[in-house]
Structures are given as structure tokens and as C-alpha cells.
Chain A
Amino acid sequence: MTVALSSREIVSQLGGKFPGAVAEAGKDSVLVKGDALTQVARYLKETDGLKFEYLNYITAVDYYSYFEVVYQLTSLDHNRSVILKTRCYGRANPSLPSLTGLWQGADFQEREIYDLMGIKFEGHPNLKRIFLWEGFEGYPLRKDWNR
């Protein structure tokens, strides 16, 4: 069974390495600021002892005042998983750095989030709509999208 890693261990390690990056820590999840996302993700992927080399999924949630993008990472060597979250404030042009450089599987998932929520990912090699067609107006899974 892959155990969900308690966030306290990660938070102390991250707080030491990247001061100010970690905003909050829930029971299983770590909330990171958007500009520190790539560094924290690379640190989680590559440090011995953490080695979170498998990206389970990326998904996005629309709370009205912000979008929250959720990543779940799993370490196959140590058999545990952790949830990483970031927030994008502002509905007009939300954007985040893309993690396709670290995990190739992030490619299609970020395209899906762009297609349905409108969050742009900088550095993505091919950011275009994946389920809906080019020319579709709006982003359907936002809470304020009304046909």
C-alpha cells in the first residue's frame, strides 16, 4: 500500500531549503507559492530520501477567489505519496509554470486544465485545447461559465 506521507516531515525539509515557499500544510498536502513551484517540485523529485518520481495526476479546482492546482506525487522507491497544491489568484489570466520538464505525463494533464479551466502553463511545449475544439469560446468547468 502506498502510504500518504504526513506533511510535517516534508514541510520542515522544504522550509529549510526554500524559505517562504510553503504557505500552508494540511494533513496530507503541502501548499506552495506559485513562483516556487518548479524548484519545490524538482527538489521533491530528485533528493534522495524523497524521490517522488511518479506524477499521479494534476487537477484544478475553482474556488471563486482563486484557482487551486493539485499535484499528487508518488515515490515508488519509498512507497509513499504526497499532495502538492498551488493557488492562482485572479480570474483574468491565471498562469503557472509548467512541469513538463520534470514529468512528461504532465503534458496532457496541463492541456486538459488549460482547455477546461483556462489556466495557462508557461513553458508548455504544446498548450492548446485537447477535448474541445479550437474556436470554442470560454472555459466550461469554471464556476461562472454559463452557456
Chain B
Amino acid sequence: MEIGPEGKQIYPAEEIDRHEGQIIEEVKAASIESIPDPDAWLEEPQRNILLTSVDAIINWARRSSLWPAACFPACCAAEIMAIEGPRFDLSRFGMEILRASPRQADLMITAGTLTWKMAPAVRRIYNQMPEPKWVIAMGACGISGGIFRSSYNVVPGYNKIVPVDVYVPGCPPRPEALIYGIQLLQKKIAKAHAVPDLPKFKMPKIPRL
């Protein structure tokens, strides 16, 4: 920002705006189909469905200390504030950490209506979270755009932008409902295969003597 002759700011050129508009149009064009929910790993029959004890320990560690990332565009954020308070205590689940950095988070609770203008920023927050990561779509606006679905600026559901694991309905969902959704996510995490399969080891061809 330059400062002009009278001490007033000179606004920067319009290329930044045009670039931002282009990004938004690209995100909008790419979001006609919803991103499918990551359920496949729950239902694969070919894999060994018995979890090893290593899996059990890692899953227990992951689900008992989910750290939410701050992604609170609108009113459902007030319910998150209620949850973080003493009455509906979220720190009994180990989740009271709500630092602003997505790099230290594994759960994105999307609390609020998403607009097309904010959509690239939310996608960027999701991209910055390290694996393993989960998303809870909170509220009617998170599931399908809610009451604002027909608006010119509203994304019809977060699953157009990020893959969602648990949907929590409500407008806003009561804190108990959101805690139930978090517990469902914890049950989902308990079934995950935390240890990746080793690649199949091929025996080298040993010539028979």
C-alpha cells in the first residue's frame, strides 16, 4: 500500500482483484460434482478387517486428541464457542486446543455458511492440514447450503470443496448434537487401518539346483 500525497492510501492495482476473481471462477467451475465422502476404507472387503493391536493403539491415540482447525465463517461458530466453554466441555475429549494454525490441526469443523468468495481460502486451510485429517460439516449450511442454498454467493454444501466425513444437521446444531457427531467420528476413526500395508514382497527367483 503506498501512501499518497495527502497521507491517504493509494489502493493497489486491479490485477490482484482480477486474479482473485479468476481463482474463484475456477473453484466454482470445478465444484459442480460433490467430492465423495471418504468411506471407502471402511468397507473394503478384500483387506484384512481385523485390526492389529498397533492399529488399535494408533487409532485410540488419534481419536482421543483431535485438534480442531479454526474454520468458522458464520453463526455456527457461536455453538463452537459454547462447546469450548465449561457447560459442554470439549476438553474432556482432549479437544480444547483451538489454535489458529491449520498445520497443527487434524479436524476441520466447518461452522458456517460458505460463500464462493471464501471457498478458495477454506480449500487452502484444508490443504495445509497434514494427514490424517477429517472434516465435520456442521449445520444445515455446511451440509447443503441450508436456507441460503439458492443465493448467488453460497456454496451448496462443504462437500463441493472438501471431502466430508461426518454431517451434523441443525441450525445451529445443539452442542450436544455436535458432540455426538464428534463421537461418531471417533468411532469411524477406530475402524481405520492406521498402519499401511507393506507392499507384497516378491521372492527372488532362485534356480533349483
What is A's interface to B at a CB cutoff of 8 Å? 125-126, 128-129, 131-136, 140, 147
A132 to B17, CA, bound (A): 10
7 example contacts (A-B, Cβ-Cβ < 8 A) are as follows A128-B14, A128-B17, A129-B17, A133-B21, A133-B116, A133-B117, A134-B14
Give the contact-size bracket for chain B. Answer: 10 to 19
B24 CB-CB contact with A under 8 Å: yes
Q: Give the distance to chain B from A99, nearest Cβ to Cβ, in Å.
A: 16
> Chain A at the B interface: mostly helix, strand, loop or mixed?
loop
Least CB distance from A126 to B in Å reads: 5
**With A and B bound together, what is the CA distance between A147 and B8 in angstroms?**
39
**Beta-carbon nearest neighbor of A135 in chain B:** B21
B11 part of interface (Cβ distance < 8 Å): yes
Chain A residues near B117 (CB-CB < 8 A): 131-133
Tell whether, in the assembled complex, residue B18 and residue A134 are in contact, meaning their CB atoms are under 8 Å apart. yes
Residues of A within 8 A of B176 (CB): none
Interface membership of chain B positions 23-64, coded 1 if the CB is closer than 8 angstroms to chain A and 0 otherwise = 011000000000000000000000000000000000000000
A132 to chain B: which residues have CB within 8 Å?
117, 152-153
**In the bound complex, how far is the Cα of B60 from the Cα of A141, in angstroms?**
51
Name the A residues within 8 Å of B17 (CB-CB): 128-129, 133-134
Which 8 pairs show the lowest CB-CB distances between chains A and B? A135-B21, A134-B21, A133-B21, A134-B17, A133-B24, A140-B152, A126-B11, A134-B18
Answer yes or no: B22 CB below 8 A from chain A CBs. Answer: yes
